[in-house]
Amino acid sequence: MRVRVLGCSGSIARDCKTTSFLVDQDVLIDAGTGVGDLTREDMLRVQDVFLTHSHLDHVACLPLMVDTIAAARAGQPLRVHALPATIAALRQHLFNDLIWPDFTRLPSAESPLVTFHPLEPGATRQVQGRTIEALPAEHSVPAVGYAVRGPNADAPWWVFSGDTERNPAFWQRINQMPVAALVIETAFSNRERDLAQLSCHLSPEVLADELDQIRAASRYPIYITHTKPAETETIMREIAQFDQVRPPRSEVAHDIRWLVAGHVFEL
């Protein structure tokens, strides 16, 4: 299984694209502006999109991608998997014939270009032999993260937190999994910790507390995503200083890296 990072920034700027991951050739996890780097042929190969939540930086390219591939997808709808609340938001605010055409009814209600498939935290979907599990998240709108595993039942999981704040249920679940890599958001620096908490995002000092919930026997690389371009250097410096600003857990040595667009996970 291969996971390609299309976008992982908390906002847009030159070389900064918002959240989207391409699993092999046919599954997207989120549909932020990183999707815009795919060719039309790449987009045509995508069969399923799994959304973490309804915020624009995670869904912005979904309607544009559907429009790009519409002529070639008649009778082959793009399957969009998401929480019921996320689906309701997309129907009301995006695919509403005001902001964008309602592709759930075009070219006809019987043969739409998009179909919605609700899921809940803990739900799993089988997609071409891979298992995709929705993980709990704590955000300002209903949200999930995702864990993805290849066809081998013993294969380790690629895990994405989605947008989240403190989240004990998330750690409880992934501590039951063999994890190959964890992608976790840290959207704000410590000086903006109050804003991070208000908007239900992580700051480095809260991330440090969260990582303490990883069971001591687990070792896997941790990739930081969703940093704002103006804050990235500060956030990563503060993360690197964990042991200097808080009592260390000497039995745990985290391998923490900054995630960049174009990175490929081979699992």
C-alpha closest to that of 193 among 179, 182, 207, 183: 207
pTM of the model: 0.96
pLDDT band at residue 135 under the 50/70/90 scheme: very high
Under 8 Å between Cβ of 160 and 169:
no
**pLDDT of 233:** 95
Q: What's the mean pLDDT when you consider all of the chain?
A: 94
Residue 182 vs residues 55, 79, 88, 171, 246: alpha-carbon distances, Å: 22, 25, 29, 11, 22
Residue 248 pLDDT: 52
- Return the residue matching tokens 């032999």: 129
On whether the CB atoms of residues 195 and 187 are closer than 8 A, the answer is: no
Query: What's the pLDDT at 217?
Result: 85
Return the bridge partners of 78, or none.
114
Domains recognised in the chain with CATH numbers:
2-266 (3.60.15.10)
Instruction: Give me the pLDDT at residue 242, please.
Output: 74
CB 202 within 8 A of CB 186: yes
What is the average pLDDT across 114-125? 98
Where does the pLDDT of residue 45 fall: very low under 50, low under 70, confident under 90, or very high at 90 and above?
Answer: very high
Query: Cβ–Cβ contacts within 10 Å for residue 132, how many?
Result: 22
Q: Does 152 have pLDDT greater than 70?
A: yes
What is the residue type of 255? D
Cβ-in-10-Å burial (0-12, 13-18, 19+) of 75 comes to exposed
